[in-house]
Amino acid sequence: MVKKVLILAGGGGHTGYAQILAEELKGKCELCFLVPDDDTLSVSRLESYGKVWMITKPRHPTTPTRIFIFRLARAFLQALSRVSRDIDVVVSTGSNFCIPPALIAWMKGIPIVNLESRVRFNKSSRTTSILKNFAKVTALQWEEQRHILKGTVFGPILPKRKMEPWSGGYILVASGTYGYKELFDTVSDCKFKNVVIQTGTLDGSKYKKEHPEWKVISFTNKFDELLAGADVVVSPPGGTPIEAVVYGKPVVIVCYPEWTKAASPIDTKIFAEKLNAPLITTLEPRAFEAAVEEAKKREIPVFSNGTKSLVETILML
């Protein structure tokens, strides 16, 4: 009998985990996914692997508490019908989005795999801290995470290369889902001529106007192509720097003060050290230019991929 696996993908880097696992699980089980109801990009990234359903994401960065409570209740109600008893395993990739469907799975006796973030070293994420009490497996990505959470270390969950790397001569500045205006403003004041900026939901028209020679995009399904051709990748901590290392690209890590809940300054520092990447804590053009040049001189680390062993565990549950 074919096992049925439901992966909870909360958007951005969390959907990145879902896609990495889906690539390894494809053909070994029946796959289905839950994604936020306002996240069409996650749908397009995952629909080739299996059925994709949408439910409410309780909290975004600016969601007021009263709205959060309402959205949380709605998410639980929606999850009741989407998390059916014919599902054999539910995988949480992090984000508050995963909590309602994961708890519904637990109530129905479905085993849960609880994945910790790759950028947590000082304190576990709220989602994994909650779900550790209900999960059959809490999957850690680094040995250092044993100090913050009881679980099994599988190694970092890494994507596969989709193409051979090449030199496109450009700097890729990626901000994730919500954008990072201060970072883009700093890059705009630098002397770089060939830059690709990924702005997320932030309006990038200002940078298109100021630098018509630059490529400014919001989102793309061909992000691997951008990584494969970049000379240097600049990003806050998260999925993009790891993916850049997989493609053998030097990385610059940028602190993101508004996202300390996702990665504290201590977490960011340790993450940068693991990737042997210069860390920018103050956004200033000359320091930024120096960090890019320094990144080009540093050795790029090679990590053992934990994806296969985690997938084997999922299939045994």
Decide if 2 contacts 29 (C-beta within 8 A): yes
Q: Are residues 133 and 29 in the same domain?
A: yes
Q: Are residues 91 and 33 in the same domain?
A: yes
Q: What is the average pLDDT across 183-204?
A: 92
Q: Are residues 142 and 233 in the same domain?
A: no
Q: Are residues 180 and 217 in the same domain?
A: yes
- Report pLDDT digits (tens) over 160-186: 999 999 999 999 999 877 788 999 999
Q: Are residues 148 and 250 in the same domain?
A: no
Of 11-15, 116-120, 131-135, 257-261, the poorest mean pLDDT is in: 257-261
Residue 133: inside a domain: yes
Tell me which of 157, 190, 223 is where a domain ends. Answer: 157
**What is the pLDDT, as a whole number, of residue 267?**
93
Which residues form the domain of 176? 170-297
**Residue percentage of the chain with pLDDT more than 70:** 98
Q: Are residues 212 and 99 in the same domain?
A: no
- Report pLDDT digits (tens) over 236-271: 998 899 999 999 999 999 987 765 556 788 999 999
Residue 302: inside a domain: no
Residue 162: inside a domain: no
- Report pLDDT digits (tens) over 86-106: 999 999 999 899 999 999 999
Decide if 317 contacts 113 (C-beta within 8 A): yes
Residue 308: inside a domain: no
**Structure tokens that stand for 43 in this block:** 């749908």
Tell me which of 105, 123, 157 is where a domain ends. Answer: 157
Q: Are residues 76 and 16 in the same domain?
A: yes
In the chain, how many domains are there?
2
Tell me which of 108, 125, 157 is where a domain ends. Answer: 157
Residue 317: inside a domain: no
180 phi and psi, to 5 degrees? -150, 85
Residue 228: inside a domain: yes
**What is the pLDDT, as a whole number, of residue 185?**
93
Decide if 142 contacts 274 (C-beta within 8 A): yes
Q: Are residues 29 and 90 in the same domain?
A: yes
Residue 313: inside a domain: no
Q: Are residues 87 and 220 in the same domain?
A: no
Q: Are residues 8 and 152 in the same domain?
A: yes
Q: What CATH number is associated with residue 93?
A: 3.40.50.2000
Is the pTM of the predicted complex or chain greater than 0.85? yes
Q: How far apart, in whole angstroms, are the C-alpha atoms of residue 255 and residue 241?
A: 13
Residue 165: inside a domain: no
Q: Are residues 128 and 24 in the same domain?
A: yes
Q: Are residues 147 and 176 in the same domain?
A: no
How far is CA 204 from each of CA 62, 194, 213, 258, rounded to the nearest angstrom?
Answer: 20, 16, 14, 19
